[in-house]
Amino acid sequence: STATAPSKASSSVPSIIKIPRSIHEVDNGKILGFGAELSEDHPGFHDEAYKQRRVMIANIARQHEVGEFIPRIDYTPEEVAVWGTALSKLKALFPSHACAEFNAALPKFNFREDEVPQLQDISEVLQQSSGWQVRPVAGLMHPRDFLNGLAFKYFHSTQYMRHASKPHYTPEPDVVHELIGHVPMLANPTFAEMVQAIGVASLGADEKQIWHLTKVYWYTVEFGVVREAGEIKAFGSGILSSFGELEHMGQGRAELAPFDPFSTQPKMSYKDGYQRRYFVLDSFQTGLDQLRQFAASIKPGVSAR
Ligand code: NLE
Ligand code: FE2
């Protein structure tokens, strides 16, 4: 089914918004950034071998069809070392800095320092935990397509590794971010429902609503923190996958503000570095209630069911 949306100011022709009926109709081929082309400020910009590797891994995602086995990547010893460094530093911080739900889910995935997990294997474990699956993607997707995927319990995931010169932080998604930052949280049913509520709200949303939902997603799923027995703990994947940012959060110098999906969300950018402000949830159940109410306000009468 389709809905008409208000057109952009520059055009007088109204655009048609396609509402996908299944994950097969969600296009993962429109890559906006962080694909094979790296910007000048990327640590891998002058590293030809790194860039070629990215192209090869991106092509695997481009050729993949939903339901097919996700091809395994034979990660190089250098890539495995980056994964191992990130995992061991993060593991040291998780007991004190990550939320209880994350720490409870992490062991399900058996992450080891000497092996980069394969998307296919992780997707199977995730599916058993909460019904979610992983679909490979070549780089940063169009926000509408990415958010639409969440409605069908699909998480689009990159498969390449961050550059070896900066294991502590990368501005872009990579396999460390997806598998350590996102996947364990998605194994938690209440959290997963919260993410799905954002996805459902995005189906047929107009451009303005998509942009608002992108920020709602950014300040919760990517960079959210939760209050736990009076302390602030990370649940946002962008914090949980970066040992630089996780330490920064733990230092308590960033500003904290209550999360409210109805209010205007601050500007967001991949180029901001560590966040200077985190939005706080009181619990995932509260977050779920808030997001369901918000979704209902833009899509009256529609729910995930
Ligand atoms: N800064 C995160 C990391 O280094 O893992 C990635 C964030 C992607 C939005
Ligand atoms: Fe992410």
- Count CA within 13 A, CB hemisphere, residue 304: 18
* 39 is a catalytic site residue: no
- Please say if 12 is a catalytic residue: no
Ligand whose nearest atom lies closest to the CA of 241 = 1
Task: Check if 241 is active-site.
Answer: yes
Do 216 and 198 touch, CB atoms closer than 8 A?
Answer: yes
Residue 207 known to be catalytic: no
Q: Give the per-residue pLDDT at 29.
A: 86
Q: How are beta strands 231-234 and 140-141 bridged, if at all?
A: unpaired
At 272 the pLDDT is 84
Residue nearest to atom 7 of ligand 1 (CA): 238
Ligand at shortest distance from the CA of 238: 1
Task: List all residues whose CB is within 6 A of at least one atom of ligand 1.
Answer: 169-170, 172-173, 176-177, 222, 238, 241-242, 245
- Model-level ipTM above the cut of 0.95: yes
pLDDT of residue 269: 84
Ranges of beta strands (E only) in the chain are 2-5, 15-18, 31-33, 133-136, 140-141, 154-157, 225-228, 231-234, 255-258, 277-281
Which is the catalytic residue, given 177, 202, 212, 245? 177
User: Which pLDDT belongs to residue 7?
Assistant: 45
Residue 3: predicted pLDDT = 42
Give the ligand whose atoms come closest to the C-alpha of residue 175: 1
Which ligand 1 atom sits closest to the C-alpha of 241?
5
Compute the distance between CA of residue 171 and CA of residue 259 in angstroms, rounded to an integer.
23
pLDDT at 268: 87
Whole-number Cα distances in Å, 295 to 10, 116, 180: 28, 36, 28
Ligand 1 atom with the shortest distance to the CA of 176: 5
Instruction: Say how many Å lie between the CA of residue 277 and the centre of ligand 1.
Output: 16
Strands 2-5 and 231-234: unpaired
> Given 130, 157, 241, 242, which residue is catalytic?
241
Which atom of ligand 1 lies nearest, measured to the CA of 173? 8
Q: How far, in Å, from the CA of 294 to the mean position of ligand 1? A: 26
Distance in Å, CA 296 to ligand 1 centroid: 30
**Which of 79, 172, 222, 245 is the catalytic position?**
222
Q: Is 129:187 a contact under the CB 8 Å cutoff?
A: yes
pLDDT on residue 302: 59
Reading the chain (305 residues) residue by residue, the pLDDT tens digits are 334 444 444 455 556 788 899 999 998 888 886 666 788 888 888 999 999 999 999 999 999 999 999 999 999 999 999 999 999 999 999 999 999 999 999 999 999 999 999 999 999 999 999 999 999 999 889 999 999 999 999 999 999 999 999 999 999 999 999 999 999 999 999 999 999 999 999 998 999 999 999 999 999 999 999 999 999 999 999 999 999 999 999 999 999 999 999 999 999 888 889 999 999 999 999 999 999 999 988 876 655 54
Q: Which pLDDT does position 36 carry in this prediction? A: 61
